[in-house]
């Protein structure tokens, strides 16, 4: 390197020879050229060392660092790189992600405009399987500003990434701020400490990091966030949370900051595991409760008050030891699906058929204020479950059970409709729901996938059928919860489309229908859809037709 670098970008890697060149290429392509690139290899055993050496041979800005033994996390390779960094400003990049071309330029310019300890920008999330993009924590990056300490904006604790920030090295050294080693979720502690210790930091609206998400990656290839099925993952997250608590207490932060941290843990960290509960067995759920509940007891009561009603119900059922019911309740976290039944005592209404035994359970499971019996019909919380599913050719037969915990439907046959709308073309089928018990209705519907309407250009994508009931005036449409263990199957749909029927595989586990065009249309549409072209075209056509 012929000139002294302004910024050191550390690329950490472990057994990722295939994606490392893409990450390094994104750093080499930065518009700001006075950079140092440190490839910090956490003792890879694949071809990563050879690939890293070949990259270094092409660019004298690249330095190689290899740990003598694998640390099993991100902390050690980052910390070792900080110690040898030669630039006054530092950034971090994971080998499976990228930096947008102007990331270094934008973050460094913000440092030069204000005396701050670090700068940060938005994160673009990219689905590795579909190419779909979204902005991580978009509400936090809606306006550019300089924050004079975390007390001024405690909600930034929701944004724990270290990779979308550029740190002043002197700031890290002065506070001896390094990543914890031997624990996963090291970003959360590091970022909480940085937010708290910083005199000021600047928030940019522009994206400065490109984060690739692979939600269905194999277990041995998944990132730490995708290994939530491991109980060690749960323990690490709780251990990091305890370290954050101890740090914040030692710094004497306000109750508002501590509450925000607690709310973040409940609504984000715990919520991630809660969303997985339907896909875990009861033994796993019981172990998760045993690991988690003791820590939750010490969190701020005000943080619990801010949670959604289904989130509170899941926690309440875990507290009560009603683990199977907790799995069922967790299927409503995304779409606000209600309980199968309710119970009542002392003028209060509770989630589930059993009155809670503990004060904490009664608090969390209390649905009285939801007014399930008297709320507007469109907001009623029906629960639609598929109890049986079979197919003959392209015809899928569904048996549906609807739970009506608020007793909003008359005890008589109820007309309902199933809607499925690929590419904006809606197919509607009538469903008759007959009473099958107190607050329970059952019906059946035959869905011929070969007859489902598609756009003229075909369709590539996923849709989830919904079931609509009505009180004669107002419609109420809800998701269809599929059996989580039925084997996916494929049929031939219209215009040579291949149609897959499957459970959703995450979140609520809705019935999911996936179209993939074959023939000439497929050869054209599938690559375009993966790049997002079809989605953007469809949105444009929708806006155009709306103005006509």
pLDDT of residue 528: 54
Q: Which residue has the higher pLDDT, 197 or 540?
A: 197
Full 3-state SS string of 433-448: EEEEECCEEEEEEEEE
Read off the pLDDT of each residue in 3-9 and give the average, rounded to a whole number.
93
Residue 494 has what DSSP assignment?
G
Give percent of the chain above pLDDT 90.
Answer: 87
Cβ atoms of residues 480 and 510 within 8 Å: yes
Sheet strand arrangement including 461-463 = 461-463, 511-517, 497-503, 489-492
Confidence class for position 273, pLDDT limits 50, 70, 90: very high
pTM over 0.75: yes
Beta bridge partners of 446: 397
The answer on pLDDT for 215 being more than 90 is: no
Beta strands in 128-237 (DSSP E): 133-136, 145-147, 165-168, 201-213
CATH number, span 7-213? 3.90.550.10
Separation CA 300–CA 261 (nearest Å): 9
Query: Which token pair is 172?
Result: 């890290």
The answer on pLDDT for 468 being more than 70 is: yes
Using the structure block, give the residue that is written with the tokens 């690559």.
527
Read off the pLDDT of each residue in 380-398 and give the average, rounded to a whole number.
96
The answer on pLDDT for 329 being more than 70 is: yes
Read off the pLDDT of each residue in 265-291 and give the average, rounded to a whole number.
96
Cβ atoms of residues 482 and 466 within 8 Å: no
pLDDT of residue 539: 43
pLDDT tens-place string over residues 507-523: 899 999 999 998 655 55
We find that the CATH architecture of domain 378-515 is: Sandwich (2.60)
Using alpha carbons, select from 486, 312, 460, 334 the residue that is nearest to residue 397. 486
* Measured torsion, CA atoms of residues 431, 437, 438, 439, in degrees rounded to the nearest 10: -20
The answer on pLDDT for 181 being more than 80 is: yes
Indicate the average pLDDT of the chain: 92
Separation CA 219–CA 60 (nearest Å): 37
Domain extent listing, the chain: 7-213, 254-370, 378-515
Q: Which residue has the higher pLDDT, 3 or 85?
A: 85
| Other beta carbons less than 10 A from residue 273's beta carbon | 20
Separation CA 243–CA 181 (nearest Å): 13
| Other beta carbons less than 10 A from residue 83's beta carbon | 9
């Amino acid at each position: 390197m012929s000139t002294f670098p302004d910024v050191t970008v550390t690329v950490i890697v472990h057994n990722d020879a295939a994606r490392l060149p893409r990450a390094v290429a994104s750093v080499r392509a930065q518009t700001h050229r006075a950079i140092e690139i440190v490839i910090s290899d956490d003792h890879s055993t694949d071809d990563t060392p050879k690939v890293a050496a070949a990259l270094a041979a092409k660019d004298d800005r690249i330095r190689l660092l290899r740990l003598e033994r694998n640390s099993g996390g991100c902390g050690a390779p980052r910390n070792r790189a900080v110690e040898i960094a030669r630039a006054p400003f530092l950034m971090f990049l994971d080998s499976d992600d990228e930096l947008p071309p102007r990331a270094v330029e934008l973050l460094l310019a913000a440092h030069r405009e204000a005396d701050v300890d670090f700068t940060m920008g938005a994160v673009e999330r990219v689905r590795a399987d579909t190419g779909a993009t979204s902005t991580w924590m978009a509400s936090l990056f809606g306006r550019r500003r300089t924050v004079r300490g975390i007390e001024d904006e405690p909600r930034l604790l929701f944004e724990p990434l270290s990779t979308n920030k550029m740190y002043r090295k002197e700031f890290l050294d002065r506070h001896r701020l390094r990543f914890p080693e031997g624990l996963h979720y090291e970003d959360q502690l590091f970022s909480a400490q940085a937010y708290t210790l910083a005199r000021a930091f600047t928030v940019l609206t522009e994206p400065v990091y490109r984060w690739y998400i692979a939600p269905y990656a194999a277990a041995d290839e998944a990132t730490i966030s995708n290994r939530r099925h491991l109980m060690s993952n749960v323990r690490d997250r709780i251990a990091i949370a305890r370290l954050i608590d101890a740090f914040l207490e030692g710094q004497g932060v306000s109750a508002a900051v501590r509450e925000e941290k607690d709310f973040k843990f409940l609504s984000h960290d715990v919520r991630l595991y809660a969303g997985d509960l339907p896909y875990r067995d009861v033994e796993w759920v019981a172990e998760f409760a045993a690991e988690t509940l003791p820590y939750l007891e010490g969190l701020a009561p005000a943080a619990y008050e801010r949670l959604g009603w289904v989130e509170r119900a899941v926690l309440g059922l875990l507290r009560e030891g009603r683990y199977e019911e907790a799995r069922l309740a967790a299927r409503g976290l995304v779409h606000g699906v209600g309980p199968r039944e309710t119970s009542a005592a002392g003028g209060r209404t509770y989630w589930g058929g059993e009155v809670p035994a503990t004060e904490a359970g009664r608090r969390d499971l209390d649905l009285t204020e939801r007014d399930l019996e008297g709320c507007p019909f469109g907001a009623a919380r029906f629960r639609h479950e598929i109890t049986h599913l079979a197919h003959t050719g392209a015809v899928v037969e569904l048996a549906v059970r609807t739970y009506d915990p608020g007793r909003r439907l008359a005890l008589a046959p109820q007309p309902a409709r199933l809607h499925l709308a690929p590419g904006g073309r809606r197919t509607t089928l009538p469903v008759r729901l007959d009473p099958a018990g107190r607050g329970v209705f059952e019906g059946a519907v035959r869905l011929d996938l070969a007859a489902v309407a598609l756009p003229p250009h075909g369709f590539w994508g996923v849709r989830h059928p919904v079931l609509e009931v009505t009180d004669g005036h107002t419609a109420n449409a809800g998701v269809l919860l599929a059996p989580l263990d039925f084997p996916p199957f494929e049929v031939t749909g219209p215009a040579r489309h291949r149609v897959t029927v499957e459970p959703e595989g995450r979140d609520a586990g809705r019935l999911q229908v996936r179209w993939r065009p074959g023939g000439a249309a497929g050869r054209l549409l599938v690559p375009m859809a993966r790049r997002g072209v079809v989605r953007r075209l469809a949105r444009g056509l929708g806006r155009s037709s709306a103005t006509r």
